[in-house]
Structure 1
Amino acid sequence: MARPQTAIIPDHCKAGIFIEADIHAGQTAQIKAACRSALAALSDLQTQFPDASLGLSIAFGSSFWQTLNHAQEGREIKPFRALGNGLAPATQHDVMIHIQSMRQDLNFALAERVLAAFGGSISVQSETHGLRLLENRGTDGFVDGTENPQGDDNVRQVGIIADGQPDAGGSYVLLQKYRHNLKKWQGIGIPDQEADVGRSKAANEEFSRDVRLTDSHLGRVNLKENGVGLKIVRRSLPYGTVSGENGLMFISYCHTLHNIEAQLLSMFGETDGQTDRLLAHLSTAVSGAYYYAPSAERLGDL
């Protein structure tokens, strides 16, 4: 059985680091060596802190991945494109590093070692640290990730390319940063907030379809094709400060890019002209990129 990278399966981690970078020309050999060193650093820290659920994913944008000539692996990967007349900007980079665990100090230690391994082969373009808030709620006050598949087997089925495929153990990734306008959000009141989300705020109960607005968040992303739900695995975390900018670092993994993209097309009005109500009252997307995370075995042998 192919092994997925270790930041995909574990749920309910308390802290995370999200890094995006571009790869300098002619650095392929260094990138390969850096991935092996990163996996060694991960293993070392996992051995020292076995109860911390420390995980690492290293994933690649289509431009770099295609240079590695693994033509039968990650075949769906492509550059992110802007959606919704600019509501979802495209900020595609070459490599993404996602670290999560129960401890931010441990995340920081691993990030230091991973970036040291890559050295001058990359230029970091963004680094954001996320943390889980009380009751798994976002800065908007709503519980985040309720729709996630539960249990390792279900997470694997949704998030990981199945055994028997050339890229078994791999996963497609979306990373987006959403900045929240909490003053505007608080100004619309709880009934309108609940209508926007499609779920009650305090009790975290999903509204029925006959009550839920079609342009609510759940109305936009709770999708089915031929009676089958288009599920994804979310490993998102809130980010920011109390007095300044804050929001959500949204990261999702899936065995197919189709499920991820279908939700985005629906949210940003590409399917029927309706956009997610959260985009009007709370959230502004400030980044967007697709990546392919190969299996742990392939990452160690690019």
Structure 2
Amino acid sequence: MIFKFGAPLTRSAIFLVLPLTDPASPSIVRSTLPNFSSLSKSVFFRDSSADFASTIGIGSSVWTSLNGLPSPKELHTFLIVMIYASKFERQLMKSLGSAVKLVDETVGFRYFDSRDLGFIDGTANPESVDGQASTLIAAEDDPNAAGGSYILVQKYLHDLTAWQALSAEKQEQIIGRTKFDNIELGDAEDDQQCSHKNLNTVEDANGEERDILRDNMTFGSLGSGEFGTYFIGYTGRLWVKEKMVERIFVGHPPGLHDRILDYSKPVTGAVFFAPSVDVLQGLAD
């Protein structure tokens, strides 16, 4: 896993979802993953001008089959690879061979100034030191998973015709920000419909707001007519993102779900653990 805190997010990415295919797969994957960092470097050295980053997340059942290491505390019941550059995915798939099966491949991109549904996305992302504290698992929380991160992935398909039929004012009420200049709107009154922004605001027992790192990308195809968002959330505390998901789908108060869901449908969703580079390289031991 490679994070570049404070650096601009990449302009495009390829997302691969790869479940294992047979009982022999874990040994092949176990011998391949320690070379993940080397494969990344070899691509970067060929074209150092490319904006390159890569992340590999491992699902709960795959993690237990790969090694004898304890499972991260919050990981629960797929292999996902996120590649923020071209040219790399072919080398990785060649290394994994028949050990995995490609069940989803999505090419994402940044739309204008990182807009999604017409609004700037990722405004609340933490940066630098705050980003590391929010995104990486701390040793005091889980020493066996320290330096890694939980990843929650969801693929959404948008009904753009219905969304674009709304007035800009109605869209702003749903999102919680102004559309053109990205100004945050006020919070809803108690027992009233909350905006998407409000529903994604989570506090711990001490009233401290908890952040995650969002690395969402839009995707689309004129041929298939499918347009949507590939949501990716990195966090050192999985409960934070799970609470956000609960608030979005159940509502806060319950019954008042996120109105984005009236125009955007989730079609996939999973939780993964992205180990630190040191742990990844040690899988072959």
Q: TM-score, normalised by structure 2?
A: 0.90
Q: Which residue of 2 aligns with 1:21?
A: 18
Q: 1:218 aligns with which of 172, 197, 201?
A: 197
Cα deviations across residues 84-107 of structure 1 (Å, max 9, x unaligned)? Answer: xxxxxxxxxx2000111xxxxxx2
Q: CA deviation at 1:30?
A: 0.6
1:195 aligns with 2:195: no
Following superposition of structure 1 onto structure 2, how do residues 66-215 of structure 1 map, counting pairs within 5 Å?
Answer: 66-67=64-65, 68-71=67-70, 73-79=71-77, 94-100=78-84, 107-138=85-116, 140-150=117-127, 152-163=128-139, 165-210=143-188, 214-215=193-194
Q: CA deviation at 1:270?
A: 6.6
> Which amino acid in structure 2 is aligned with residue 16 of structure 1?
A
Q: Is the 8 A contact 2:201 2:210 kept in 1?
A: yes
1:277 aligns with 2:273: no
Counterparts of 1:11 and 1:227, CA distance in 2:
30
Q: Which residue of 1 aligns with 2:40?
A: 42
> Which amino acid in structure 1 is aligned with residue 259 of structure 2?
R
CA separation of 1:204 and 1:270: change in aligned 2, threshold 3 A: closer
Count how many residue pairs are aligned between Structure 1 and Structure 2: 274
Counterparts of 1:11 and 1:256, CA distance in 2:
23
Counterparts of 1:34 and 1:129, CA distance in 2:
23
Q: Is the 8 A contact 1:215 1:274 kept in 2?
A: yes
The DSSP-based 3-state class of the residue aligned with 2:151 is strand
CA separation of 1:166 and 1:37: change in aligned 2, threshold 3 A: closer
Counterparts of 1:70 and 1:174, CA distance in 2:
21
Q: Is the 8 A contact 1:197 1:216 kept in 2?
A: yes
Cα deviations across residues 140-189 of structure 1 (Å, max 9, x unaligned)? Answer: 11001011112x32221111112462221110001110111111001121
1:230 aligns with 2:210: yes
Counterparts of 1:202 and 1:211, CA distance in 2:
24
CA separation of 1:214 and 1:11: change in aligned 2, threshold 3 A: farther
Counterparts of 1:7 and 1:31, CA distance in 2:
22
Q: Where does the alignment leave 5 or more consecutive residues of structure 2 unmatched?
A: none
Cα deviations across residues 127-147 of structure 1 (Å, max 9, x unaligned)? Answer: 000011111111x11001011
Q: Where does the alignment leave 5 or more consecutive residues of structure 1 unmatched?
A: 80-93, 101-106
Q: Which residue of 2 aligns with 1:259?
A: 240
Moved more, 205-214 or 110-119: 205-214
Moved more, 219-228 or 265-274: 265-274
Q: Is the 8 A contact 2:188 2:194 kept in 1?
A: no
Counterparts of 1:233 and 1:23, CA distance in 2:
28
Identical aligned residues as a percent: 27
Q: CA deviation at 1:62?
A: 0.7
1:294 aligns with 2:275: yes
> Which amino acid in structure 1 is aligned with residue 200 of structure 2?
V
Q: CA deviation at 1:6?
A: 1.2
Counterparts of 2:20 and 2:95, CA distance in 1:
13
Counterparts of 2:209 and 2:50, CA distance in 1:
32
Q: CA deviation at 1:210?
A: 4.9
Q: Is the 8 A contact 2:109 2:218 kept in 1?
A: yes
The DSSP-based 3-state class of the residue aligned with 2:173 is helix
Q: Which residue of 2 aligns with 1:103?
A: none
